[in-house]
Amino acid sequence: MNAPLNIGSIEQSRRGFLKIAAAAGGGLMVGFWSLPDEASAATAAKAVSAPADLNAFIAIGADDTITLTMPKVEMGQGTYTSIPMLIAEELEVDMDKIALRHAPPNPKVYGAPFGDQFTGGSTTIRLMWEPMRQTGAAARMVLIQAAADQWQVAPDSCHAEHGEVVHPASGRRIKYGRLVQAAGKLPVPEKIALKDPKDFTLIGKPLKRLDAKGKTDGTALFGIDTVVPGMKVAVVAASPVVGGKLRSVKDAKARKLRGVRDVVKLDNAVAVVADNYWYAKQGLAALDIAWDEGQYAKLSTDDVRTIMLEALKKPGKVARNDGDALKVIAADGKRVEAVYVNPMLAHATMEPMNCTVHYDAKQGSAEIWVGSQVPARARDDAAKALGLAPEKVTLHNHLIGGGFGRRLYTDYVVQAAALAKQVKWPLKVVWSREEDIQHDLVRGLYAHSVSASLDASGRPVAFSHKIAGPSNLATFAPSFLQNGLDTDNVEGSDVFSYDIPNMRTEYTREDGPVPSGFWRGVGPTRNMAVLESFIDELADKAGRDPLAYRLAMLDKQPRAARVLKLAAQRAGWGDKSPPGSGRGIALMRAWGTYLAQVVDVSVNDDGEVAVKRVVCVVDCGHVVNPDTVVAQIQSGINYGLTAGLFGAITFKDGRIEQSNFHDYRILRLSEAPAIEVEIVNSTEAPGGIGEPGTAGVGAALTNAVFAATGKRVREMPLRPELLKKA
């Protein structure tokens, strides 16, 4: 759903993240990232808006209200419950007393340790696990100290509970709201005492989501809900051809329509500005637009596929090279080889792209309302488009109606800023569903070459995986390239769990002509679909049961073996499937998480696949909220099944052929399978959970189809015409 990051090398000691500085105005700033002292102090002064702000994340009112500022963005994944749980656990406050606010664009405070304020890559809990607990613990400790000073007792004779400091010996207690002024003047303790996990009262419990009420009663505000006094609405048509430009537009008819206020041009797009969305949409339909289609006017899906298949023949960057897989495989006349292709996919978020901008030319400033996974980037990029300094732009971030990686990019924000600069009103720019799908930064097309050499028992002694496709890291976060290697594109393959003495993973970058971006599950959602399907091919070649074949290679990976065994047991692996039905299994390891899925399918005489049941067992380390884990797995599985059953963005004459949900199918409620999720109890460091469900289901699906039909699918989605022949 989101950008991947290799966080294995990041020092996660308690003091590794902690940086403390005094703040002006009697408040206290606790920053958790490796900033120079001078920068930290300056940031603190800006971040603390009032003495009631204990630090950049916690504000306590005199009425004992607890307001937490969220360093990550809520886009349906439960961040606005899990992060408060981490803080509240150590702060010793009740969850029903908490209010939340979106963090402002400020990468120095909310963007570390990477220096970029973003939400994605299944990194939130992995990165926030200790820092947010430290935040709560530091605040708790100064509140206790303030109470102890007032009572003239030793701090260790007091404790905190339910938003109060208690002195058991005297029976005295005092609420946080009465202590916050004094606590804000105290130095932060040098040693932050965190709870022992055995003493957790919130973490690990299935708590109701804090954002649930607003999302069910309609009070929650998303970017698309923005209403600003005097606001007009713009609807956009961008060049339908990749890289195309606007040649001319005849707008006389549109300007005569009711409610239409203006027609605004950009290099590659035109927008109609009107009093409301419907008037703007009617005005857009009345335009006569001519496009300069450019060099890709004849581009087709086959062209893109050919580019990637040819790239497989070129040398790439080696991510893993255990032994000498290429030599062993080349010497084996009976080697097993296959080529897989991952198709292009749209994000298809529930909330289409939108952004509201009020540009004030006289004041030389702007205000923006949007939902973004990268609020600081969005502000800075909009400022550049408006010709303003970033500090002259105020950005209000909102809840997001689906991100999946799409809102890691700021193209829609930049476009809104460029349009707003040309009009005199605050301007809400809304992309129609058609505009959204046909101008998405799609998941790119990737080609994979896999090969293996088997010993006499059918066990692989050498395994090679070659990947070719676009590099998202190169455009989004080039500093994370490792000597030119895109670590996202090899993720999952670089830690393939099976014990194979000769193992090689290689990636060749080929960006191709189609603009692309991160998509939920990122690298592993492509790689695991290929690798776990190919493992099934090898099991079939060896005449072995797919489960037993995998387990025989997992003696050194107990966490992987455990989830695989549990999933198989719970799914009834080994039970005979009815005619026309099949069961597939797959293992996934990425983001510090181990996950196994078993999928049951039926395939009718017309080749149509119905997914009946999915069993998933996940070991994601220490769990914050098990309800969130289950919800994310269920969501990820359905998102992955949507892609596997229906998903494909195709090009003809330089244009995306799909335009809405009638031809870019989404799994319907009536088509969704029964999903059973079991969480393995673990004390390991937290792993990611937003991506794994999507990344793990693809191969289990194709393996189940093979079991039902004998047809091996190496390019998604599942096509009834191919399975009908089987």
CA atoms of 552 and 459, how far apart (whole Å):
9
Q: What is the pLDDT of residue 726?
A: 63
Q: What is the pLDDT of residues 605-634, one digit of tens each?
A: 999 999 999 999 999 999 999 999 999 999
Tokens representing residue 357 in the block: 């901008």
Q: For domain 223-294+353-430, is the CATH number 3.30.365.10?
A: yes
Helix (H, G, I), strand (E, B) or coil at 22: strand
In sequence order, the 6+-apart residues with CB closer than 8 A to the CB of 702 are 529, 533, 584, 644, 712, 713, 716, 718
Nearest alpha-carbon partner for 316 in 477, 493, 479 = 493
Q: What is the pLDDT of residues 682-726, one digit of tens each?
A: 999 999 999 999 999 999 999 999 999 999 999 999 999 999 976
Residue 79 has pLDDT above 60, yes or no: yes
Q: Please give the CATH topology (third level) of the domain spanning 14-216.
A: Aldehyde Oxidoreductase; domain 4 (3.30.365)
Q: What is the pLDDT of residue 49?
A: 32
Residue 232 has pLDDT above 80, yes or no: yes
SS (H, E, C) 91-149: HCCCHHHEEEEECCCCHHHHCCCCCCCCCCCCCHHHHHHHHHHHHHHHHHHHHHHHHHH
Tokens representing residue 655 in the block: 């244009």
Q: For domain 302-344+442-725, is the CATH number 3.30.365.10?
A: yes
Q: What is the pLDDT of residues 515-552, one digit of tens each?
A: 999 999 999 999 999 999 999 999 999 999 999 999 99
Residue 3 has pLDDT above 80, yes or no: no
Residue 36 has pLDDT above 90, yes or no: no
Output the DSSP codes for 65-101: -EEEEESS--SSSSHHHHHHHHHHHHHT--GGGEEEE
Q: What is the pLDDT of residues 634-657, one digit of tens each?
A: 999 999 999 999 999 999 999 999
Place of tokens 């088997």: 454
Q: What is the pLDDT of residues 121-164, one digit of tens each?
A: 999 999 999 999 999 999 999 999 999 999 999 999 999 999 99
Burial 592-629 (b: 16+ CB within 10 A, else e): bbbbbbbbbbbbeeebebebebbbbbbbbbbbbbeebb
Average pLDDT score over the chain = 92
Tokens representing residue 243 in the block: 């890289």
Q: What is the pLDDT of residue 624?
A: 98
Q: What is the pLDDT of residue 7?
A: 44
Residue 317 has pLDDT above 90, yes or no: yes
Q: What is the pLDDT of residues 464-485, one digit of tens each?
A: 999 999 999 999 999 999 999 9
Percent of the chain with pLDDT over 90: 90
Query: What pTM does this model have?
Result: 0.92
Q: Are 17 and 113 in contact (CB under 8 A)?
A: yes
CA atoms of 195 and 211, how far apart (whole Å):
26
Q: Does 490 or 114 have the greater pLDDT score?
A: 490
Segment (H or E) for 305 = helix 301-311
CA atoms of 457 and 450, how far apart (whole Å):
20
Q: Where are the domains positioned within the chain?
A: 14-216, 223-294+353-430, 302-344+442-725
Cα→Cα distances 535→351, 547, 606, 702, Å: 38, 10, 28, 12
